[in-house]
Amino acid sequence: MVDVSFPNESQGYRSAREELLEAEIRLRAQVEEVARQRRTLPAGGELKEDYVFEELVNGAPKQTRFSEILPAGKDTLFVYSFMYGPEMDAACPMCTSMLDGLDGQVRHIDQRIGLAVVAKNPIAKIREHADSRGWNSLRLLSSANNTYNVDYFGEIDGHQMTMMNVFTRDESSSTGFRHFWGSEMAFVDAEPDQNMRHTDMIWPLWNVLDLTPKGRGDWYPELSYSQPISLGSL
């Protein structure tokens, strides 16, 4: 199928690998088709209200409306609901792992769309956690004093949820924005031996582990590890 052969591989390996390659090509086509179908969604509902968030600007708290988040010249806003509410002892390790990777991509994402991360905790506590992770690029907003989390499924029955939502600018709507897409797979029962996986598409961790012999296994990321990698061993 392809003119590729790695050193010392067997014919059995090559045959199995080419069969897998065919499946990978089919998967790529399916991913492209789902993305195309997503792009053709009809207009979603108008933004419920022009929510007022709080963020830190030059170290000082500032009230920021939803309509002020998206920079001029851009028409699309990606909002990630981060599981970190006042009832939680610590931030969600899974969300933290994903945001560790996303922080480094903001400079690229910003070339096309706006991006914001929303959590229910007061902004000072969110910023404290961000500083402990070295997040320098993510735009962090507190929804402590509005209903955004509840309205867009970042909170259910008082429990914080991981949720991705995309909004588009629409000057004809009363609030200036419409909802375009949300990661509703979070609310669909997973197949056996799977979790929700509704954020996998933007999470480097799982995509890398899925390429390895043992896959993800039953391991999950933590906020800290007792044995950090020693640079001297590399």
Helix, strand, coil shares, percent, the chain, to 5: 35, 20, 45
Rounded to whole angstroms, the Cα distance separating 209 from 213 reads 8
Q: Which pLDDT tens digit goes with each residue over 14-67?
A: 999 999 999 999 999 999 999 999 999 999 999 999 999 999 999 999 999 999
The average confidence (pLDDT) of the chain is: 92
Q: Which pLDDT tens digit goes with each residue over 68-91?
A: 999 889 999 999 999 999 999 999
In DSSP notation, 66-121 reads GGGTSPTT--EEEEEE----TT-SS--HHHHHHHHHHHTTHHHHTTTSEEEEEESS
pLDDT of residue 234: 43
pLDDT of residue 39: 97
User: What structural domains does the chain harbor?
Assistant: 52-185 (3.40.30.10)
Task: Find out whether 67 and 175 touch, Cβ atoms under 8 Å.
Answer: yes
CB atoms within 10 A of CB 183: 21
pLDDT at position 226 over 80: no
Rounded to whole angstroms, the Cα distance separating 132 from 152 reads 28
Rounded to whole angstroms, the Cα distance separating 104 from 4 reads 33
pLDDT of residue 202: 87
Task: Find out whether 57 and 141 touch, Cβ atoms under 8 Å.
Answer: no
pLDDT at position 117 over 90: yes
Greater confidence (143 vs 227) lies with: 143
Least confident span in 101-105, 164-168, 177-181, 208-212: 208-212
Helix axes 123-133, 93-103, angle to 10 degrees: 70
**Percent of residues, the chain, with pLDDT higher than 70:** 94
Greater confidence (234 vs 212) lies with: 212
Confidence band for 92, pLDDT divided at 50, 70 and 90: very high
